[in-house]
Structure 1
Amino acid sequence: MDAAYDDSRTATARSSGLGRRWRTTWRQGVVREYRLVAGLLLVTLAIVAAVVALPDKFPFTALMVPLLVGSLLLGPRQLEWFVIGVLVALMVTLLAQETITTRVVGATAVQLLMGFIVLLASFRRARLGVGGAMGESMLVDLRDRILNQGGIPTLPYGWHVESALRSAGGTPFAGDFLVATQPTGDERLEVVVVDVSGKGEQAGTRAMQLSGAFGGLLGALPPDQFLPAANDYLLRQDWDEGFATAVHLSLDLTTGGYEIRTAGHPPAVHRASGSGRWSVLGSEGPVLGLLADATFSCVRGVLGRGDAVLLYTDGMVEEPRRDIELGIDRMLGEAESLLRGDFTGAAGRLVDALGSPNDDRAMLVVNRA
């Protein structure tokens, strides 16, 4: 009972510490933002004073500088009032002009238009609740989390695993992602390569959510239960385009035995070092998120010394008006020439050599040295 009481006190203390830390961080952020507002207002007033004192020498269009900085750094609520303040300052500087020429009227109209555009942008940001720079940093952080979940854990000697990802058009967000984990105390590597419906930024938000969900499921469930659980999760989301394809590899790092299951995904391929031949591992299963109570067949095998397995998305093998089997044959031919005896940088080399730059592409290479 004493141990339970101590654990309860420890948990309470930890919760209180996290709460204090969050409140401190929030207060610091609020103070920093109000200091920024005050600084921008001082700059605006200084510009107004300079224009009133020297109307022929100091341009009143300088008011656009604090307006632009505010649009980048301020939150939606502060930005709305700041824009109104800048427009009021613009009217004051306009009255200070000795002569109202056509050029002055045109410059005023342009500044009013810019203020209106910034105001509209602040209304759109109100849905997110943060400023432009902060919102961008949040998206970058989410993207980095997806990439970090795709990081390969440290493996025992004799195993070489690497991955590569390229998004459509070179954008930083992609509908293809992979998640890898090595359950604690288990000599197994669990990897899933996923292709979310859509591509580029269109699929990026769904990929962010699925990456976190699949990462939790992958390490917590037995290999044969992962894809059914992922399918149930997607069905519960009720998205308009809520489907995805996936290939799941469960690898025993001691024996080299593996299990591969696919869900509407291009098949994995296995290279036997003894014969040098590639074989297609034809597991089957429906696309995730379309059918309830779906079942997924399993292909089992063993990776011997020098063997390799490739997992990839359809962007590596699909092109318009070309059968996917031809794309797989082309990929295997390219892999045979590029990876002959050397798997260092294999995933990156294959992704750069194959597929269309207008589609997301992902590749995972597993090699037993």
Structure 2
Amino acid sequence: MAERRAVPPPRAARLHQARKALHRARTKLRKAAVDWFRGGASDWVALGGLLLTVPLLTCATVLTPLWCAPEALVLPIIAGGLLLRPASLLALYAASAVALMIESLLLGPYTGYAEHVDGAGRVTPGTVLVVAAAGLSGLLVAQFRSRVGVPWRRGGTMLFDLRERIRVQSKLPKLPPGWHREMALRPAGGQSFSGDFVVAARTGPQGRTLEVVLTDVSGKGMDAASRALLLSGAFGGLLGSLEPHAFLPAANGYLLRQSWEEGFATSVHLVLDLDSGDYELLSAGHVPAMQLNAGTGVWEEKAAEGPLLGVYDGAEFDPVKGTLRPGDVLMLFTDGLVETAERDLTEGMDRLTGAADRYVACGFHGAAWHLIESVARDVNDDRALLLLCRDP
């Protein structure tokens, strides 16, 4: 019996198989690219590419020494410091050292300045020092990245994510009609990270209570940013989960358990009834708040009593009460906005309220950022300002 020939698959089946193979290849390629960007993939591809550039640069130096000097080897070395792990970087350094020796043999040895003053492409002691210095710098960078565990390709993205997380956590919830809020935060030195942060939530039945916590962590800028990020997450979890009078004692206990060298912070906790306008203000060593009385046009200081957070256990915080009537404004801020080495707290608060008086007639929409600009634009400290307004 004659053998049956294998029937080739129809054209539609072949096209389907080709599409599946193409899809698998695209998926693997995309996964490899994502892993490489995040630093989770092997660096053999980058190592292979950089090792390939070493002989190319060597050939270019030998053929055209005027256009490609021996010092060009620092280019793959610098790139390797950013892309490779320390173990792979040593292989690149070995290849670069071999390339320098080959260039020295082919271009002629360096025997002195007078003889080769007009020579081009010689491997001089200065060349060796430049390449060695670049290699040492790259190795230090690679070792630092390896110790931190964050590759350079992912480091910038991680910092961006942290900044956005702080910004989202500091966003105030939407208020019902009849209320308006303004918030501005400006880190020291124009940096992206700050030691000041805000956490807020609508609590109580049907969310008719607004709780806001403004905190100033010891230090400023990048030095305080890591602690501010940790505290903002912890305070955000506590807010709304505890009774208002239990929040600051719980926050104080949390800071004490961290055992930080600079573990203290100031904080102010506002509990506002959005129906009646009645509020309580609890403070942990924070600067006083200021309330504008729409009837008299006078700013009134609202100072609650309480020690710094993270100083001693069993601290008590006594609230101050008030009411926001239609047209009233409540300002919460940090000391960087009103206190400097050349200006005491009282003078700074007078300057802030004087600048805020310009917005009484036209309203405080968009005023928070402009107030920081006019009162403490060039202050080398973190500044935060929160405005709560009840519409007339």
Asked if 1:104 is matched to 2:133, the reply is no
1:346 CA displacement: 1.2
SS in 2 for 1:193: strand
Residues 336, 33 of structure 1: CA spacing in aligned structure 2 closer, same or farther, 3 A cutoff? farther
Partner of 1:175: 195
1:141 CA displacement: 1.8
Pairing partner for 1:30 from 40, 59, 62:
40
- Distance, in Å, in 2 between the alignment partners of 1:84 and 1:263 is 59
Q: Show structure 1 runs of 4+ deviating over 6 A.
A: 22-25
* TM-score normalised by structure 1 residue count: 0.85
Q: Could you tell me which amino acid in structure 2 is paired with residue 358 of structure 1?
A: N
Deviates more, 1:105-114 or 1:183-192: 183-192
Partner of 2:390: 368
Asked if 1:66 is matched to 2:73, the reply is no
Partner of 1:198: 219
**1:78-97 equivalences in 2 (<5 Å):** 78-79=88-89, 81-97=91-107
Deviations 1:224-260 (A, max 9, x none): 1111111111000101111111111122223322221
Larger radius of gyration: 2
Q: Could you tell me which amino acid in structure 2 is paired with residue 104 of structure 1?
A: V
Asked if 1:358 is matched to 2:368, the reply is no
**1:259-274 equivalences in 2 (<5 Å):** 259-274=280-295
Partner of 1:319: 340
- Distance, in Å, in 2 between the alignment partners of 1:35 and 1:42 is 11
Residues 357, 50 of structure 1: CA spacing in aligned structure 2 closer, same or farther, 3 A cutoff? same
SS in 2 for 1:219: coil
Deviations 1:122-179 (A, max 9, x none): 2223321122342233223212211111012222222211211112221222212222
1:348 CA displacement: 0.2
Partner of 2:315: 294
Do the aligned residues in 2 keep the contact of 1:143 with 1:208 (CA within 8 Å)?
Answer: no
Do the aligned residues in 2 keep the contact of 1:251 with 1:259 (CA within 8 Å)?
Answer: yes
- Distance, in Å, in 1 between the alignment partners of 2:50 and 2:331 is 55
Q: Could you tell me which amino acid in structure 2 is paired with residue 175 of structure 1?
A: G
SS in 1 for 2:282: strand
- Distance, in Å, in 1 between the alignment partners of 2:247 and 2:200 is 13
- Distance, in Å, in 2 between the alignment partners of 1:257 and 1:338 is 23
Do the aligned residues in 2 keep the contact of 1:263 with 1:284 (CA within 8 Å)?
Answer: yes
1:60 CA displacement: 2.7
Deviates more, 1:93-102 or 1:59-68: 93-102
Partner of 1:41: 51
Partner of 2:6: none
Pairing partner for 1:238 from 239, 245, 259:
259
- Distance, in Å, in 1 between the alignment partners of 2:202 and 2:49 is 50
Residues 98, 293 of structure 1: CA spacing in aligned structure 2 closer, same or farther, 3 A cutoff? same
1:266 CA displacement: 0.2
Q: Could you tell me which amino acid in structure 2 is paired with residue 359 of structure 1?
A: D
Q: Could you tell me which amino acid in structure 1 is paired with residue 229 of structure 2?
A: M
Unaligned regions of 5+ residues in structure 2, if any?
Answer: 1-30, 114-121
Do the aligned residues in 1 keep the contact of 2:103 with 2:123 (CA within 8 Å)?
Answer: no
Identity %: 45
Pairing partner for 2:233 from 189, 207, 212:
212
Do the aligned residues in 2 keep the contact of 1:281 with 1:299 (CA within 8 Å)?
Answer: yes
Deviates more, 1:22-31 or 1:192-201: 22-31
Q: Could you tell me which amino acid in structure 2 is paired with residue 59 of structure 1?
A: A
**1:123-202 equivalences in 2 (<5 Å):** 123-183=143-203, 185-202=206-223
1:115 CA displacement: 0.9
SS in 2 for 1:177: strand
1:313 CA displacement: 0.4
Do the aligned residues in 1 keep the contact of 2:189 with 2:221 (CA within 8 Å)?
Answer: yes
- Distance, in Å, in 2 between the alignment partners of 1:88 and 1:262 is 67
Unaligned regions of 5+ residues in structure 1, if any?
Answer: 1-21
Q: Could you tell me which amino acid in structure 1 is paired with residue 337 of structure 2?
A: M
SS in 2 for 1:65: helix
1:319 CA displacement: 1.7
* TM-score normalised by structure 2 residue count: 0.80
Residues 334, 47 of structure 1: CA spacing in aligned structure 2 closer, same or farther, 3 A cutoff? same
Deviations 1:45-73 (A, max 9, x none): 43234335555653332222222233334
Q: Could you tell me which amino acid in structure 2 is paired with residue 276 of structure 1?
A: G
Two-structure CA RMSD over aligned residues (Å): 2.7
Do the aligned residues in 2 keep the contact of 1:182 with 1:189 (CA within 8 Å)?
Answer: yes
**1:302-313 equivalences in 2 (<5 Å):** 302-313=323-334
Deviations 1:75-101 (A, max 9, x none): 555445545544454444444433436
Pairing partner for 2:367 from 333, 337, 346:
346
**1:4-19 equivalences in 2 (<5 Å):** none
Q: Could you tell me which amino acid in structure 2 is paired with residue 244 of structure 1?
A: A
- Distance, in Å, in 2 between the alignment partners of 1:84 and 1:304 is 76
SS in 2 for 1:364: strand
SS in 2 for 1:328: helix
Q: How many residues of Structure 1 are paired with residues of Structure 2 in the alignment?
A: 348
Q: Could you tell me which amino acid in structure 2 is paired with residue 234 of structure 1?
A: L
Partner of 1:14: none
